[in-house]
A and B are shown apart, each in its own frame.
Chain A
Amino acid sequence: MTELTKVVMRLDGVADAHRLDVYEANGGYSALRKALGEMKPQEVIDEVKASGLRGKGGAGFPAGLKWSFVPQDHPGPKYLACNADEGEPGTFKDRWIIENNPHEMIEGCIICAYAVGLSHIYVYCRGEFYEGKRKIEQAAKEAYAKGYLGENILGSGFSTHLTVHTGAGSYECGEETALLTSMEGGRGHPKIKPPFPASEGAWRKPTVINNVETLATVPAVITQGAQWHAGMGTEKSKGVKMVCVSGHVERPGIYEVEFGVPASGIINDLAGGVWKGRQLKGYFPGGSSTPVLPAEKADVLYDYESIAEAGSMLGSGALIAFDNETDVVRMAEVITRFYAWESCGKCTPCREGTRWMLQIYERILNGGGRMDDLELLLSICNNLEFKSFCPFGDAAVGVVRSTINLYRDEYEEYIREHKVYRRRFVPVKH
């Protein structure tokens, strides 16, 4: 039986947890007091490093290591960008945090700012999160009033400020360097790395970029210690993950589990299994940008290494399951359309490649596919992957290549029989 391990979601079900008094009554801001009162900045970084905390935004990069890249002797301001631009289809964990427990994230941000010596925290909140933005602003106001933010925090002599920025509707702005250009007020185009944001980020100042969930885990790591955190999960994927389960399951929702539980356990024990008594056909282990895994691989353990070994990625932890009646060709088209729409247009392989793939999908679904279209799709994938300017291009090919490899017969059936997908709705690009 797969069990929940609530860390970031420990206040799930507590009424009004978004309010400062409720959060404090449940031990909130004790981590900040501990960090400011008893620990040196370097000790905080060492603690987070030792805990094995990894980024939860997609890449799984060790958080403490990222923090230690920021040059300590850099003169002038340094920034923290908290990535709340959650836009990956199937992911809805950051939204839960900022709407239900924004103080946990803010406390994590302040601790990070203290550890690395950052003078300003920018929360880049997705534009569509109207409610979330309001909750963060309200929480920041409360934190300012209580002296957790602002000048000379809790008498420690350390000062940092917080500003909420909103996006204006662009998936690519979740990519860290595009997020910075967007914050600076430009089109959401990524920048070349190096220089890495840790040395030259927002307004060319050193900038740490972390996901909401990553930062919201930090207070627990500080209060309960690195050993406690490192004791959870697997050897390389330590700690817990909020898994967003959606698609054809009985009880879609967010389930926080230790790394290393079987994916089938999450689907069956926690999310109630596949809906309507049907069978699982396959699933996206980490969001629509990760390659599909077939039902036979449902037993793979849910951690970065095991999923990579199975041929996919853990990504942002969005598990989308689909049942045996799903038309995978159509599904792949929907996702390809998403990438074609959201491509930022900066580099040619991605801008042209995603659209080209979409056109081929439309042709296949309209009954005009050709047998060599499959090879064509795969070759576009090869020309996109690792050749695009930012990882968006790699994300766009995941579903195309994996579904062709796994469900080739369904593609061939469409083409051979000139099957036409009866379209109910053709979205217009605007």
Chain B
Amino acid sequence: MDHNDAPMATETQDEDHDGLISILERIQAKYNYLPQEALREVSEETGRSLVDIYGVATFYRAFSLKPRGKHLVSVCLGTACHVRGGPMIAEEFERQLGVCAGETTPDKEFTLETVNCLGACALGPIVTVDGRYFTKVGTAAVKKILKQAKEGLGKVEIGTDERVFPMEVNCPRCNHSLMDTDHLVDGHPSIRVTVSFGKMHGWLCLSSLYGSYNVTSEYPIPENTVAYFFCPHCHGELLGASDCPECGEPMVRMIVRGGGVVQICSRRGCKGHTLDVDGVNL
């Protein structure tokens, strides 16, 4: 049982059983499939028979006994996505990847599968790649999605990627603009803040392109350092209201001009961020 930070059930040993699905989930996450040796080991450790474990492993769709590709593409063919053209999307993926649904490309890059309803029917047709949702997918978008997946969904190409757009932000305390038109990052005016970490205290310019993680700063900030961010005008801390959804460190908060709030993680190297524009959570 890993789950969240909640204390584990303290009851009888019966309860240890529930670990099986999470154990298999961890193995699947590590190897992208369930290797036979690993299942034998699970059997020895949990004391459950191999046939029991095999039964569970074959029942659930998330588990695979065959090696899967690096990226998992799931195309929704649920009722709502179906009527909005899901099969055409699935077909386009098959064509582009040269494999049928359920198969893995020979270079082990992609596994293509079809699923029944991903719980976002209003935005169909839906495709998920490595857990990230793409909505209202048309056949023309298929190529782009595969390209993005290959390059890593975290990395984005400035200028051509629609998920990257410039934004202007203000300090949530004094409402002074944080934009620095003299200092360009990614060819756009940057967001200038003051950062402090350890004994260092200096300026930092963030890219104002949402989706880009480029920065320049007075002092280099070592990876994984958690820094404090301040407004250069009122010197108030830009403290976010919640912790980073990715790593749990504090967030840094800024107001988006035109309405909305953007938060970024205060840990160098973490890409955790949230953007709420008029209540739409991107």
Contacts and interface: CB of A to CB of B under 8 A. Distances in A.
Given A91-B119, A188-B60, A331-B83, A430 B102 contact: yes
B59 to A, nearest CB: 4
Interface stretch (A92-100, A350-358, A404-412): A92-100
Given A288-B79, A424-B87, A141 B122 contact: no
Contacts of A134: 245
Interface residues of B, number: 69
A252 B84 CA distance: 12
A247 B80 contact: yes
Contacts of B158: none
B79 A428 contact: no
Interface string A407-430: 000000000000000001101111
A97 to B, nearest CB: 11
Contacts of B83: 247-248, 322, 326, 331
Nearest to A173: B60
B5 A425 contact: no
B56 A186 contact: yes
A207 B22 CA distance: 21
Interface stretch (B13-21, B192-200, B211-219, B220-228): B13-21
A205 B62 CA distance: 28
Contact of A187 (B55, B61, B90, B245): B55
B68 to A, nearest CB: 11
Interface string A175-204: 000000011111110000000000000011
A425 B90 contact: yes
B79 A427 contact: no
A320 B24 contact: no
Contacts of B118: 128
A429 B281 CA distance: 35
A89 B88 CA distance: 19
Interface stretch (B109-117, B166-174, B177-185, B202-210): B109-117
B4 interface: yes
Nearest to B4: A137
B38 to A, nearest CB: 16
A235 interface: no
A21 interface: yes
A342 interface: yes
A100 B281 CA distance: 8
Interface in B73-99: 77-80, 82-83, 87-88, 90-91, 94
Given A22-B241, A168-B60, A161 B119 contact: no
Contacts of A76: 11
Contacts of B116: 87, 89, 171, 338, 341-342
Contacts of B142: none
Contacts of B248: 141
Interface in A5-53: 12-16, 18-22
A21 B55 CA distance: 44
Nearest to A86: B119
B17 A184 contact: yes
Contacts, number: 212
B102 to A, nearest CB: 3
B186 interface: no
A312 interface: no
A77 B8 CA distance: 13
Interface string B237-264: 0000111010010000000000011000
Contacts of A183: 18
A428 B101 contact: yes
Most B-side CB within 10 Å, residue of A88, A89, A137, A341: A89
Contacts of A187: 55-56, 59
Most A-side CB within 10 Å, residue of B20, B82, B117: B117
A12 B122 contact: no
Contacts of A320: 79-80
B120 interface: yes
A19 B3 contact: no
Given A140-B6, A252-B122, A185 B279 contact: no
A301 interface: no
B148 interface: no
A246 B20 contact: no
Contacts of B101: 427-428, 430
Contacts of A138: 242-243, 245
A95 B119 contact: yes
Most B-side CB within 10 Å, residue of A88, A99, A284: A88
Interface of B: 1, 3-9, 11-12, 14-15, 17-22, 24-25, 52, 55-56, 59-63, 77-80, 82-83, 87-88, 90-91, 94, 100-103, 113-124, 128, 131, 241-243, 245, 248, 260-261, 274, 276, 278-279, 281
Given A127-B60, A130-B131, 7 more contacts: A89-B121, A138-B242, A141-B248, A162-B4, A169-B60, A322-B83, A334-B77
29 contacts: A13-B279, A77-B9, A86-B119, A89-B117, A92-B119, A126-B119, A127-B60, A128-B118, A135-B245, A163-B4, A163-B9, A164-B3, A165-B21, A168-B25, A168-B60, A169-B61, A169-B62, A184-B17, A186-B55, A246-B124, A247-B80, A254-B122, A284-B79, A320-B80, A338-B116, A424-B88, A428-B100, A430-B102, A430-B113
Q: Which 10 A-B pairs have the closest CB atoms?
A: A169-B61, A430-B102, A168-B60, A185-B20, A252-B122, A425-B87, A246-B80, A168-B62, A137-B4, A246-B121
